[in-house]
Amino acid sequence: MWGNGSRAEPWAAPPCDEWLCSALPLRALVPVTAVCLGLFAVGVVGNVLTVLVTCGHRDGRSTTDLYLGSMALSDLLILLGLPLDLYRLWRSRPWIFGQLLCRLSHYLSEGCTYCTILHITALTVERYLAVCFPLRAKVLVTRRRVRAVIGALWAFALLSATPFFFLVGVEQPDNRTDFSRECKPTPRALESGLLGTMFWVTTSYFVLPVVCLSVLYGFIGRELWRSRGRLRGPGSALRERGHRQTVRILAVVILAFVICWLPFHIGRIIFISTRDTRTMLFSQYFNIFALQLFYLSASINPILYNLISQRYRAAVCRLLLPCRRMRRALVGTKVSRTYTETSSGIRHG
């Protein structure tokens, strides 16, 4: 991630020593570091719990559970890059972790970012089918096919991010001392304009799914409005409540996704489009703010699930509290009520 301590121009670098080489003063570094460490702890614990919850009961997993578990894994990989970004905030140089880790950290950050976007989009498409075409969805959307879709999403996301593996590297300007080593975009990537092109590609990767999500949610909302009280048959009320609960969760997750990632893409555009010192300084501070929102997006989903979904809370309690009496005391509800919040009515495959 560039603009958060990695500088593409030598004039942007402040005086450095062996302890501190940062674009920010110490009074700003300390609170930013504290916030990022808090996000790291909350995000790792929450996403690990989500992976364990969604993988813990193989026979009872819904297709939505498969998407959420895979997305939590993607968020975990994103969070693994946070310590390296903090290192670059404090010491943008010298980079001591080698060429491979420099490239791999940027590649995984990009690839997992794409992967999360694709998961949210695919999950929304599934909800659209389940709400607007329920009979067709029962045939088309199965666990086996969803697993294949998730594998394809991972492959496409990681393949799309491949250019970033070669656009960055450990640079040592003018063959100076080892202290000048820095993990940043290569001069060839900057001179050729390829880095700027890839930034615009990643921005499109964000804008196009958001447009798609908006359209799909329009159709879903219209169908739910039209179908109020129209469903008949055994379990129809539960199915309708389940659809509404899932749509509510997804709407909040997508809203958080847009709020957290929009500044990240705006910051990139500012960073690649500016040349004067004052705007570059603004870009540095803006991207520090965007960096925290970026990692917030990878940490917040389990919190949203816990606040909105009683089913998720019950599953976490079952995982953490194997004693039935303690679990019942904390959950405070009957097992049958947890199914009113089912993430998806599709459990066959």
At 201, the amino acid letter reads V
From residue 128, give the alpha-carbon distance in Å to each of 105, 140, 214: 35, 13, 12
CATH top-level class of 10-308: mainly alpha
At 233, the amino acid letter reads G
Dist CA 214 CA 254 (whole Å): 10
Per-residue pLDDT of the chain (349 residues; tens, 9 = 90+): 554 444 333 334 445 665 667 767 788 888 999 999 999 999 999 999 898 888 765 544 688 888 989 999 999 999 999 999 998 888 877 888 889 999 999 999 989 989 988 998 998 898 888 888 888 888 888 889 999 999 999 999 999 888 888 888 887 765 556 667 888 888 777 677 776 777 777 778 888 888 888 888 888 877 877 766 555 555 566 666 666 676 777 677 778 878 888 888 788 777 777 777 777 777 778 888 888 998 998 998 888 877 767 777 777 787 777 655 444 544 454 443 443 343 444 344 4
Could you say which DSSP state residue 178 is in? G
From residue 42, give the alpha-carbon distance in Å to each of 275, 298, 306: 37, 10, 13
Task: Report domain extents, the chain.
Answer: 10-308
Looking at beta carbons, which pairs linking 121-126 to residues 24 or more positions away fall under 8 Å? 121/209, 121/212, 121/213, 122/67, 122/149, 122/150, 122/153, 123/64, 123/67, 123/68, 123/71, 123/250, 124/212, 124/213, 124/216, 124/217, 124/250, 124/254, 125/216, 126/63, 126/64, 126/67, 126/344
The pLDDT, as a whole number, for residue 342 is 39
The pLDDT, as a whole number, for residue 213 is 86
Map residue 329 onto helix, strand or coil: helix
Q: Tell which residue, 330, 307, 305, has the closest CA to residue 317.
A: 330
* Ramachandran class of 177: left when φ > 0, alpha when ψ lies in -120 to 50, beta otherwise: beta
- Answer whether 0.75 is exceeded by the pTM: yes
At 134, the amino acid letter reads P
* DSSP per residue, 96-107: -SHHHHHHHHHH
